């Protein structure tokens, strides 16, 4: 080949390679952008939680900026929950683990301590709300959670004022671990708390419709202690014993006598803990039998608008006030949907 021809060919090849390189560069940039986008998505704070109401509170604070997994399915007994190997994998991948604490979640914390990259990222809601037992402001010990057993009643979230505090705690932990999104978390927390504050007001409006001497709750599962303390009600008993078994015949007989003596108008069962004993007690005493109270299972399917912490509380309030002869009007047309900003 002549030199001039050779030079021309080389030049053409160089131009072609340059064109291909440019094309490759653009393709790589697109790939890098896609990778960056994937990385950005992957870099969402990976948050694991436990029971559904707490998961929903975290969702309303974290919104679309976090990857959220609740490891305890709706309606599963959180007190005796044993995480699966899949849950251990979820915890191993978690950046932070937000749990209730107060000995609610079975062996979940033990598995988290063993599985997580950084066990210091395990956060406790209840234990950062109350620091000790106190009749007015601290942990409560009662029927299913007697003081001599050492574990306080863990159902703090059933009191909306505590749910507001839980949201503040979540806001702080998410912001600490993901400061770039702090303003987003702050705004979501404010929106969620505004609705919960409205819920608190509705309960205070409805409460006087039930005479003081009739504000007596007998429930199957002992999850209403903090709610009752906040709104001036009395929990006179819980049917489920502290070992979470069925009550003995002697225990049932005592409850029946107590209901008759105190003229309790309704007995409340549980969606999570169906028990024929509760229905038997209602029949023996002539009290209304209400089956639908929930403490860790929001209503509807997982993606339903009402499948929220607030949706659960509104359902419960309607059930309680209706059965006790009070008004349910403050809960009509109440906003129950998630409040977080969607990206």
As assigned by CATH, the class of the 209-331 domain is: alpha beta
**Architecture of the CATH domain 45-199:** 3-Layer(aba) Sandwich (3.40)
Taking the C-alpha atoms of residue 47 and residue 181, their distance in angstroms, rounded to an integer, is 14
Domain borders along the chain are 45-199, 209-331
Give the pLDDT score at 7.
Answer: 39
| The total number of residues written for the chain in this structure | 343
Query: Interhelix angle for 309-323 vs 182-206, to 10°?
Result: 0
Instruction: Output the pTM of the full model.
Output: 0.85
pLDDT attached to residue 321: 98
Quote the CA–CA distance of 125 and 162 in Å, as a whole number. 10
d(C-alpha 40, C-alpha 92), whole Å? 20
CA-nearest of 125, 132, 120 to 105 is 125
Tens-of-pLDDT digits for all 343 residues of the chain? 434 443 343 343 343 333 333 333 333 333 333 333 333 445 899 999 999 999 999 999 999 999 999 999 988 889 889 999 999 999 999 999 999 999 999 899 999 999 999 999 999 999 999 877 776 779 999 988 988 888 899 999 999 999 999 999 999 999 999 999 999 999 999 999 999 999 999 999 999 999 999 999 999 889 999 999 999 999 998 888 777 778 888 888 988 998 999 889 999 988 777 778 888 899 999 999 998 899 999 999 988 999 999 999 999 999 999 999 999 999 999 999 999 999 8
Q: Read off the tokens for 193.
A: 């708390």
Q: How many angstroms separate the CA atoms of 258 and 283, rounded? A: 14
* Contact status, residue 328 vs residue 321, Cβ threshold 8 Å: yes
Residue recorded with tokens 């009007």: 329
Examine domains 45-199 and 209-331 and report if their fold is the same: yes
State the pairing for strand pair 122-124/96-99: parallel
pLDDT in tens, 24-68: 333 333 333 333 333 344 589 999 999 999 999 999 999 999 999
Query: What percentage of the chain has pLDDT greater than the value 70?
Result: 87
Rounded Cα–Cα distance for residues 154 and 223 (Å): 8
């Amino acid at each position: 080949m002549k030199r001039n021809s050779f030079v021309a060919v080389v030049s053409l090849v160089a131009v072609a390679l340059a064109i291909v390189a440019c094309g490759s560069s653009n393709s790589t940039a697109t790939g890098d952008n896609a990778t960056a986008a994937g990385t950005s998505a992957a870099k969402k704070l990976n948050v694991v939680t436990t029971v559904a109401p707490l998961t929903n509170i975290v969702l309303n604070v974290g919104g679309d900026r976090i990857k959220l997994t609740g490891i305890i399915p709706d309606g599963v007994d959180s007190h005796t929950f044993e995480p699966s190997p899949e849950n251990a994998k979820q915890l191993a991948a978690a950046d932070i683990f937000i749990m209730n604490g107060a000995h609610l979640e079975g062996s979940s914390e033990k598995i988290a301590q063993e599985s997580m990259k950084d066990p210091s990222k395990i956060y406790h809601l209840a234990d950062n709300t109350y620091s000790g037992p106190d009749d007015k402001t601290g942990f409560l010990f009662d029927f299913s959670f007697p003081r001599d057993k050492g574990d306080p009643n863990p159902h703090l979230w059933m009191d909306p004022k505590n749910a507001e505090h839980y949201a503040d705690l979540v806001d702080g932990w998410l912001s600490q671990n993901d400061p770039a999104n702090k303003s987003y978390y702050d705004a979501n927390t404010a929106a969620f708390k505004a609705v919960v504050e409205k819920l608190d007001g509705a309960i205070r409006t409805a409460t006087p419709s039930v005479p003081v001497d009739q504000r007596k709750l007998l429930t199957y599962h002992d999850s209403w202690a903090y709610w009752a303390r906040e709104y001036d009600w009395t929990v006179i008993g819980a049917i489920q014993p502290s070992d979470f078994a069925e009550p003995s015949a002697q225990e049932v007989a005592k409850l029946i006598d107590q209901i008759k003596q105190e003229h309790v108008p309704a007995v409340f069962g549980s969606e999570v803990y169906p028990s024929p004993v509760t229905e038997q007690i209602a029949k023996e005493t002539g009290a209304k039998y209400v089956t639908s109270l929930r403490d860790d299972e929001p209503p509807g399917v997982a993606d339903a608008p009402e499948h929220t912490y607030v949706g659960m509380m509104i359902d419960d309030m309607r059930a309680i006030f209706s059965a006790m002869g009070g008004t349910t009007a403050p809960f009509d047309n109440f906003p129950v949907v998630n409040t977080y900003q969607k990206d």
